[in-house]
Structure 1
């Protein structure tokens, strides 16, 4: 008799538990499918910079699990605006378009032209020179914590006003990088000291300080002011977006649809010079 009572009780609890489960529907705004452009022509200082890749995809709804979004069959080229030289990017049939003939020139303006589904997309950017970056070493002096290691760097900002930069820091074996963008509004023409220490994780509110043997990959870019503004909006939206936050507005890049302005593309066409270096903590 006791065994029957125990089984009945357990079944009752199970039914009660399932009956108290509510389904929450998250209302996500829908949006038209758009062309997404990943066109970062980054010229690493000290290299030819001739090999470049542009990737095209289509956008999807927030909860859409579609994996095949690669765009093939498009016409993609970059044009030197001064002499009209065209660099054709060949379709690799996997969403990527490549060239091994690009000629990066500091101070030169370039235009991107994409023809897709009978519509023409266009964007323009200028290649700015990046200063040399010197790694001074490491210390515990400049960061928020006097106990944590940071890497110390220095570079000389050119005297011309209006220079913009961003750093990309990525610890070896970590999935996501950290971006820091800034301009020379208050430091124009000066030698600039910069440091980076490991940042606090927004989810765990914990900081994993650098330890001896850790390897940090550093990329230092010279960028346009327009791209810096785009980065600021993009990073702020990603950093502040939660499951039940208001849906952020679409972040428009510089790719304009000349055939149908309302059907604009996502993404950005940038042309930059970059310094890349790895630092190993001691």
Structure 2
């Protein structure tokens, strides 16, 4: 059995190394695979992290995490008959713009990229390519005889209609509110959404239990639903009294991302697997990657932003 190492998991683990010793469990290893965690959105460069899987119970160490990055791969994105080669860049060499995009797309505080316990995080990117709405992007990765391919698209923008708040059901919690949204779904089946929320100066965090929706049951309709507050991943414990709520005085921004169906299926199955982890009655779940020859996701986002000041 192997696990996918995400950027957020890597950085959260690195913070522990400033004050903790390595933890070693010597158990059998599974077959190594390459893992893609890549995004492209309108007006932004492609950002891709390439790692290798590690066994679930392998030694957790700074050296092990650093060795999970795959270097010197040939990473290409093809669009409109042109091929763009992505350059591998370590985090200590990120420009301020690249740092902003990595932080935005992965839900990280920018300063976290400066505090990686003496280790660099590596991304593949290109300053020459910026995403455009309505286009498809073909990914080709070659590394030591392995070939990974994928295709994603940036759909048409699909914004929210409005945001508003509803008071907490308990009058004694009058400083907390639920956020609601209104959304008019186009009359074409398959429209899918991923969302993040941001409070004040926080990063954008995805919905914790479910960050994606599709229009299977609401196609062509206008719907009103609550929107849970996004949360950082990797929390040991969730405050159930505060979960999903926003506070009066918060300035809340919703990052509302139209995605294609393969992109939706990846996040839906991954989050379902994470939510059922360890449950003795849960059904077996396989995360539906769109990477041929590997694991992970190559996904396009058509992003709109919506803000509300909670009074």
TM-score norm. by structure 1 comes to 0.71
Classify the secondary structure of the residue corresponding to 2:54.
coil
CA distance in 2, matches of 1:234, 1:144: 32
C-alpha contact 1:253 1:266 (8 A) present in aligned 2: yes
- Distance in 1, matches of 2:178 and 2:286, equals 36
Q: Distance in 1 between matches of 2:206 and 2:154?
A: 23
* Structure 1: runs of 5+ lacking an equivalent: 1-25, 258-264
Helix, strand or coil: the match of 2:69? coil
Matches for 1:104-143 after TM superposition, within 5 Å: 104-140=131-167
In structure 2, distance between residues paired with 1:67 and 1:166: 28
Match of 1:222 in 2: 258
The yes-or-no answer on 1:165 pairing with 2:193 is: yes
Distance (Å, rounded) in 2 between the aligned partners of 1:207 and 1:175: 21
When structure 1 is superposed on structure 2, of 213-222 and 116-125 the one drifting more is 213-222
How far 1:272 sits from its partner (Å)?
Answer: 1.7
Whether contact under 8 Å (2:38, 2:46) holds in the other structure is no
Q: Quick one: distance in 2 between partners of 1:246 and 1:191? A: 33
Instruction: Name which of 236, 240, 254 aligns with 1:206.
Output: 240
TM-score of the aligned structures, taking structure 2 as reference length: 0.65
1:38 counterpart = 2:37: yes
Rounded to whole Å, the distance in 2 between the matches of 1:123 and 1:76 is 12
1:67 pairs with one of 47, 55, 65: 65
Shift of 1:149: 0.9
Change (3 A) 1:74 1:197: closer
Normalized per residue, the structure richer in helix is 2
Q: Higher Cα Rg: structure 1 or 2? A: 1
1:231 equivalenced with 2:267 (yes/no) = yes
For residue 184 of structure 2, the aligned residue among 115, 131, 156 is 156
CA RMSD of superposed structures (Å): 3.5
For 1:214 and 1:231, the matched residues in 2 are separated by: 28
From 188, 195, 199, give the equivalent of 2:226.
195
Q: Give the paired residue count.
A: 241
